[in-house]
Amino acid sequence: MPTLHDPVLLREVLFFLNPQPNQNFIDCTFGGGGHALAILEKVLPAGKVVGIDWDRNAIQTSASANLILVNDNYKNLKQIINKITDEHGPLQYSGILLDLGLSSDQLGAGSRGFSFQDQGFLDLRFNMDSGGITAAEILKTFRKDDIIRILKEYGEEPLATPIAKKIIAYRESGRAIETAEMLVQLVSEVYQSHFQSASRKNPATRTFQALRIAVNDEYGNINAVLPQAVDSLAAGGRLAVITFHSGEDRLVKRFFKLQEELGRIKILTKKPVEPAETEIHRNPRSRSAKLRVAERI
């Protein structure tokens, strides 16, 4: 069964989740379907995989008797499971996966601002039908101190203050930052004024990350889903979480530690598992990925 993109840490995810025939799994971040379809191959003939994604554009694969697709926010995990129970009967879940990175399809989307070269509107919402504020609206309306807080808290941006000042000066001149391309140019100008040598990483990476997290309340969603995921696992079931920056990883690490102290889980990865050099070479986007796994007691 072909996958739709190159899933990060796939070999490691399959090793830790260890899907077996007739077991059931949940992929809370279906994305391009790579992880979910690989798990599905292992759980046939009677096992099921529930694929959840907030981005309706991500649910492109055809559902089947074994693959249940849900367009919803994973923070509503228990509600989703209750609905699946009503439609398919009660299922025991042997594993739950959260891959918190963007899929290749999202990064390549030409109308939501996820790509640095995007000339479409700077939106950054995973679900454009869900309401909520866009990244462009944040840059247009938020106070300087609030923009600084977002860049520091969610992006750990060392130049948060000068970037925020540049944004305010830009809009006070009567211009609006409405495309990804415009924001990259603005942030790049700030970096060029502070550093002589250029980094391999786009200087706007942290700014985009911070705005995306703020727009989608990603930290709030992670904090909401983790306890629901543990509650939803069968005894011996495993929760695997792939993060892509230190803020996400800290949330997962702290949650796992607390749950282990409470005697609810056993941490299987004392240190996060990172991609091998061969994977990073093949897929540079995987370089910052970290996998943590715990088992329900």
pTM to 2 decimal places: 0.91
Percentage with pLDDT > 70 across the chain = 92
Q: Are residues 70 and 114 in the same domain?
A: no
- Write down the pLDDT at residue 200: 61
Computed from CA positions of residues 157, 162, 168, 172, in that sequence, does the dihedral angle turn out positive or negative?
A: negative
The string of pLDDT tens digits covering residues 120-169 is 789 999 988 878 999 999 999 999 999 999 999 999 999 999 999 999 99
The string of pLDDT tens digits covering residues 57-106 is 878 778 899 999 999 999 999 999 999 999 999 999 999 999 998 754 55
Range of the domain at 162: 109-216
Q: Are residues 211 and 73 in the same domain?
A: no
Q: Are residues 149 and 134 in the same domain?
A: yes
What whole-number distance in Å separates Cα of residue 296 and Cα of residue 165? 47
Q: Identify which of 243, 296, 238, 295 has the alpha carbon closest to the alpha carbon of residue 272.
A: 243
Q: Are residues 160 and 226 in the same domain?
A: no
The string of pLDDT tens digits covering residues 202-237 is 899 999 999 999 999 999 999 999 999 999 999 999
Reported as a pLDDT band with limits 50, 70 and 90, residue 3 is very low
The string of pLDDT tens digits covering residues 284-293 is 989 999 999 9
Kindly report the average pLDDT of the chain as a whole number: 92
Alpha helices (runs of H) in 44-156, residue ranges in sequence order: 77-88, 104-107, 135-141, 144-155
Q: Are residues 279 and 157 in the same domain?
A: no
CATH number at residue 121: 1.10.150.170
What whole-number distance in Å separates Cα of residue 133 and Cα of residue 114? 15
The string of pLDDT tens digits covering residues 263-277 is 999 999 999 999 999
Residue 202 lies in a domain: yes
CATH number at residue 77: 3.40.50.150
The string of pLDDT tens digits covering residues 249-260 is 999 999 999 999
DSSP readout, 173-231? TT----BHHHHHHHHHHHHHHH-SSPPSS-TTHHHHHHHHHHHHTHHHHHHHHHHHHHH
- Write down the pLDDT at residue 197: 59
CB 187 within 8 A of CB 163: yes
Residue 81 lies in a domain: yes
- Write down the pLDDT at residue 108: 47
Residue 5 lies in a domain: no
What whole-number distance in Å separates Cα of residue 254 and Cα of residue 213? 19
Amino acid letter, residue 91: L
- Write down the pLDDT at residue 199: 62
Q: Which residue has the tokens 């989703």?
A: 80
Q: Identify which of 54, 221, 30, 215 has the alpha carbon closest to the alpha carbon of residue 127.
A: 54
Reported as a pLDDT band with limits 50, 70 and 90, residue 4 is very low
Residue 2 lies in a domain: no
Q: Are residues 205 and 236 in the same domain?
A: no
- Write down the pLDDT at residue 117: 67
Q: How many domains does the chain have?
A: 2
Alpha helices (runs of H) in 18-143, residue ranges in sequence order: 34-43, 77-88, 104-107, 135-141
Out of 189, 216, 243, pick the residue that ends a domain: 216
CA 8-11-15 angle, to 5 degrees, is 125
Q: Are residues 70 and 141 in the same domain?
A: no
- Write down the pLDDT at residue 103: 57
- Write down the pLDDT at residue 102: 75
Q: Are residues 194 and 119 in the same domain?
A: yes
Q: Tokens in use for 93?
A: 């879940």
Q: Are residues 212 and 120 in the same domain?
A: yes
